[in-house]
């Protein structure tokens, strides 16, 4: 049976897709805190043998994700609003429909610095490693650079 | 290095992404013909170890894809316009942001029955089997059903 998800443009939500917290718990390790971020799994990994998972994340104004790194990559496409992303030692502004690939082990954090919700698709492999906090050397280098310092908290 | 693709809303194209024909050749097997369809590979499979590939397809009014089936699944999300999809023994109308999953071995064909371009993301696994034409029994059953018959040519 083909899965077909209807979409409500008014609420920017897909019918039958549960809205969850970004993570099950608040991050307690350094940099792993997050705020105002919901997760909407459009196509779970492992469903009808998919080797990947298609999620939609939405970050409210002022919200942000954990500062983290991992081996698996992210492919992100903005569907609404605009975001600001720390990726490795760079900062990228991500407007509507723009695509960003987060390479393996690049430190990253998503921030909504605008005044409307920022929503984006994020594709990952179904089998993937667990996110880790950045290490001391990364933390210090990112904090020492004025461009990346605002992402380090 | 993080790949960042800028987007031009005017042309609905990503900077640096080559527009290719949907397939390298015209289909010569029954049902494998196609028309007015371009392929834009946003993130190739195998790039920075991605186990999946993120493509954007665009079908002009009157255009259509091959009628085919395969083991690997598709996850499709409409970004612009509207499409009509044969999937298995059903026909699905796919409006903006709607999501459709094509299960393994479901016969499928994308048709643009509207009057503006229909553009959609299509995620697949990087390693995947080759599309095949439908077999005689499928062809006949789909042609016998008035709902699916328009897709069988």
The DSSP annotation for B16-52 comes to TPPEEESSSS---STT---EEEEEEEEE-TTGGG-SE
Q: Which tops the pLDDT comparison, B3 or B49?
A: B3
pLDDT for B68-81, tens place per residue?
999 999 999 999 99
pLDDT at B96: 95
pLDDT at B50: 80
Phi-psi label, residue B51: left if phi above 0, alpha if psi -120 to 50, beta otherwise: alpha
Sort out which chain A residues have CB atoms less than 8 A from B102's CB and list them: 2
pLDDT at A49: 67
Rounded to an integer, the average pLDDT of B117-133 is 94
Verify whether the Cβ–Cβ distance B49 to A73 is below 8 Å: yes
Q: Dihedrals φ, ψ of B2, to 5°?
A: -75, 130
Q: Which of B48, B79, B104 sits opposite A103 (nearest CB)?
A: B48
- Residues 6 or more apart whose CB falls under 8 angstroms from that of A11 comprise none
DSSP category for residue B47: G
**CA A43, CA B125: separation in Å to the nearest integer?**
13
Q: Dihedrals φ, ψ of B87, to 5°?
A: -140, 115
Residue whose structure tokens are 């919200």: A63
pTM: 0.92
Verify whether the Cβ–Cβ distance B48 to A1 is below 8 Å: no
pLDDT at A151: 96
pLDDT at B2: 83
Rounded to an integer, the average pLDDT of A16-42 is 88
A100 close to B (CB below 8 A) = yes
Sort out which chain B residues have CB atoms less than 8 A from A13's CB and list them: none
**Tally of CA atoms within 13 A in the half-sphere of B122 that contains its CB:** 18
Strands A19-21 and A52-64: unpaired
Verify whether the Cβ–Cβ distance B100 to A4 is below 8 Å: yes
**CA A40, CA A17: separation in Å to the nearest integer?**
6
Closest residue of chain A to B97, computed from CA coordinates: A7
Known catalytic membership, residue B122: yes
pLDDT at B42: 92
pLDDT for B99-118, tens place per residue?
999 999 999 999 998 999 99
**CA B1, CA A35: separation in Å to the nearest integer?**
27
Bridge partners, residue A75, by sequence: A101, A123
pLDDT at A25: 75
pLDDT at B47: 65
pLDDT at A53: 93
pLDDT at B49: 67
Kindly tell me if the per-residue pLDDT of A97 is higher than 90: yes
Contact B66, B111 (CB under 8 A): no
Measured at the CA of B120, the angle between CA A78 and CA B23, to 5 degrees, comes to: 130
Strands B52-64 and B118-125: antiparallel
Provide long-range contacts, Cβ within 8 A and 24+ apart, for A17-24: A17/A41, A17/A42, A17/A56, A22/A57, A22/A65, A23/A66
């Amino acid at each position: 049976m083909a899965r077909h998800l209807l979409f409500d443009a008014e609420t920017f939500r897909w019918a039958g897709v549960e809205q969850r917290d970004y993570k099950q718990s608040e991050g307690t390790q350094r940099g792993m805190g997050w705020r105002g971020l919901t997760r909407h799994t459009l196509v779970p990994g492992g469903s009808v043998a998919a080797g990947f998972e298609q999620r939609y994340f939405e970050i409210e104004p002022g919200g942000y994700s954990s500062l983290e790194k991992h081996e698996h990559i992210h492919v992100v496409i903005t569907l609404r609003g605009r975001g600001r992303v720390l990726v490795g030692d760079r900062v990228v502004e991500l407007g509507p429909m723009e695509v960003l690939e987060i390479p393996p082990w690049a430190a990253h954090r998503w921030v909504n610095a605008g005044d409307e919700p920022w929503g984006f698709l994020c594709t990952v492999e179904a089998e993937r490693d667990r996110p880790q906090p950045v290490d001391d050397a990364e933390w210090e280098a990112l904090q020492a650079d004025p461009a990346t310092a605002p992402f380090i908290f």
